[in-house]
């Protein structure tokens, strides 16, 4: 049914999407009226930062390669100090969600503008969501000041992303689109992006996994990442994200893999209560079957862990997770009950076909 009452706030990022677009990073600085940039990355993506530095020439102020997961506030302060000492007026962030998280923290704390060059499918570059760890506690929030001024999507940079990370990261993105379709604050615009985002990924991930050098498939997947990230940036997430947040936080599980495993089960839980989302996902997945089953079937072909047990979760850990998920209410299409969560998590623990 058409949703005839909604709000939609377009987010202002400029996007450059092209194989080889990383070479245009200097032009992006010009376009934004910026002079010299500090390049941010994780230690593992140092080579990518050096590639950017090569393209920037003397407009590179240097490389800060200490980005880490969960963004310790000390790291953001260090990077900001380095930017100031080196006379940078901006940051170019290259890498996955961890690097982009550092760029956002610097934008939040110190107001430095950022250009993001994402190399995974996490989608953080499209959201105003920031995270920062202070005194061992992770804080998160939303603030438009952390949005990159410009995002450069260059599919050629994703060719080195290993197939397991590509698949898990892609399904993490698909989860954003799935929950955007039934979000309390969804809109017809977001539904378009979400449906196309799911189509782009589910159509391309098997090819990406079969041949990481397939630039056509890589381009389609990265386009999907953009759309799915935009969905996350504009809507409120439900049960699936709550479950992954609690599982990740309390059991220290890997982010993207946890999302990939939980998604078919969370969708099975919700799909009969969200008929419009179900129909959109059936179109995107080209199936008449339940979308949760089509997604589960697709995941079986991909090289990712398929059960929480494979991540080391044990049955006796589930009751605490359930308790925490139930402890504060949030919107969800299907009522969230203890029995329902027990069923969902037990299936996810074993990796069986969702029912």
What is the contact surface with ligand NAD in residues (CB under 6 A)? Answer: 42, 44-45, 69, 95-99, 101, 119-120, 122-124, 127, 129, 131, 157-158, 160-161, 165, 169, 232, 255-256
Residue whose pair of structure tokens reads 């080196």 in the numeric block: 86
Q: Quick one: CA torsion of 223, 181, 261, 319, rounded to 10 degrees?
A: 150
Between 120 and 191, CB nearer to ligand NAD: 120
Q: Which residue number, 245 or 283, has a Cβ lying nearer to ligand NAD?
A: 245
Q: Structure tokens of 321?
A: 């997770």
H or E segment at 63? strand 60-64
Question: Are 103 and 71 contacting, i.e. CB atoms less than 8 angstroms apart?
Answer: no
- Look up residue 13 and give its two tokens: 């990022």
Instruction: Pick between residue 15 and residue 69 the one whose CB is nearest to ligand NAD.
Output: 69
Residue 284 phi/psi, 5° resolution? -65, -35
Question: CA 163, CA 167: separation in Å to the nearest integer?
Answer: 6
Smallest gap from Cβ 220 to ligand NAD, in A, equals: 17
**Residue with the CB atom nearest ligand NAD in the bound state:** 97
Cβ proximity to ligand NAD: between 69 and 334 the closer is: 69
Residue in 200, 301, 297, 317 with CA at minimum distance from that of residue 251: 317
CB 227 within 8 A of CB 193: yes
Six token digits for residue 83: 């930017």
Question: HSE (CB half, 13 Å, CA atoms) of 146?
Answer: 24
Which three-class secondary structure state does DSSP give residue 90? strand
Cβ at position 161, least distance to ligand NAD in Å = 4
Whichever of 16 and 67 has its CB closer to ligand NAD, that residue is: 67
CB of 8 to ligand NAD, least distance (A): 18
CB of 321 to ligand NAD, least distance (A): 18
Min dist. Cβ of residue 248 to ligand NAD (A): 8
Q: In whole angstroms, how close is the CB of 327 to ligand NAD at the nearest point?
A: 21
- For residues 172 and 347, which CB has a smaller minimum distance to ligand NAD in the complex? 172
Say how far residue 255 (Cα) sits from the centre of its chain. 10
Residue 161 or residue 304: which is nearer to ligand NAD going by CB? Answer: 161
Alpha helix (H) residue ranges in the chain: 25-32, 46-56, 73-85, 97-110, 163-181, 188-210, 215-234, 239-251, 255-270, 275-284, 291-300, 318-327, 338-350
Q: How many CB atoms lie within 10 A of CB 78?
A: 15
Q: Give Cβ neighbours of residue 42 (< 8 Å, ≥ 6 apart).
A: 65, 66, 67, 68, 95, 96, 98, 99
Find the shortest distance in angstroms from Cβ 146 to ligand NAD: 8
Could you tell me the smallest distance in angstroms from the CB atom of residue 207 to ligand NAD? 18
Q: What's the first-to-final CA gap in the chain, in angstroms? A: 26
Measured from the CB atom, is 120 or 219 closer to ligand NAD?
A: 120
State the nearest-atom distance from the C-beta of 68 to ligand NAD, in Å. Answer: 8
Closest CB to ligand NAD among 115 and 294?
A: 115
């Amino acid at each position: 049914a058409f949703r005839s009452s909604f709000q939609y706030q377009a987010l202002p990022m400029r996007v450059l999407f092209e194989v080889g677009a990383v070479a245009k990073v200097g032009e992006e600085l010009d376009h934004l009226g910026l002079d010299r940039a500090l390049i941010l990355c994780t230690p593992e993506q140092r080579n990518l930062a050096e590639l950017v530095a090569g393209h920037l020439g003397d407009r590179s102020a240097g490389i800060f390669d200490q980005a880490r997961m969960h963004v310790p506030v000390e790291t953001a302060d260090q990077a900001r100090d380095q930017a100031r000492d080196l006379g940078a007026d901006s940051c170019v962030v290259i890498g996955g969600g961890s690097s982009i998280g550092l760029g956002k923290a610097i934008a939040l704390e110190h107001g430095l503008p950022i250009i993001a060059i994402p190399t995974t499918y996490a989608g953080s570059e499209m959201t105003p969501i920031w995270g920062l760890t202070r005194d061992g506690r992770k804080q998160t929030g939303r603030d438009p000041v952390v949005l990159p001024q410009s995002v450069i999507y260059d599919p050629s940079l994703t060719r080195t992303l290993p197939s397991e990370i590509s698949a898990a990261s892609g399904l993490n993105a698909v989860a954003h689109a799935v929950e955007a379709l039934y979000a309390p604050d969804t809109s017809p615009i977001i539904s378009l992006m979400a449906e196309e985002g799911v189509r782009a990924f589910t159509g391309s991930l098997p090819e990406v996994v079969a041949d990481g050098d397939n630039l056509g498939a890589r381009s389609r997947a990265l386009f999907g990442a953009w759309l799915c990230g935009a969905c996350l940036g504009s809507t409120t997430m439900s049960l699936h994200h709550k479950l992954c947040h609690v599982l990740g936080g309390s059991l220290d599980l890997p982010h993207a893999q946890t999302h990939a495993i939980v998604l078919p089960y969370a969708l099975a839980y919700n799909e009969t209560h969200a008929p419009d989302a179900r129909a959109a996902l059936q179109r995107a997945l080209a199936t008449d079957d339940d979308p949760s089953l089509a997604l589960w079937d697709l995941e079986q072909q991909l090289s990712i862990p398929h059960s929480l047990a494979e991540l080391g979760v044990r049955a006796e850990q589930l009751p605490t997770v359930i308790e925490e998920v139930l402890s504060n209410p949030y919107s969800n299409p299907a009522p969230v009950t203890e029995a329902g969560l027990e069923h969902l998590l037990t299936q996810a623990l074993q990796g069986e076909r969702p029912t």
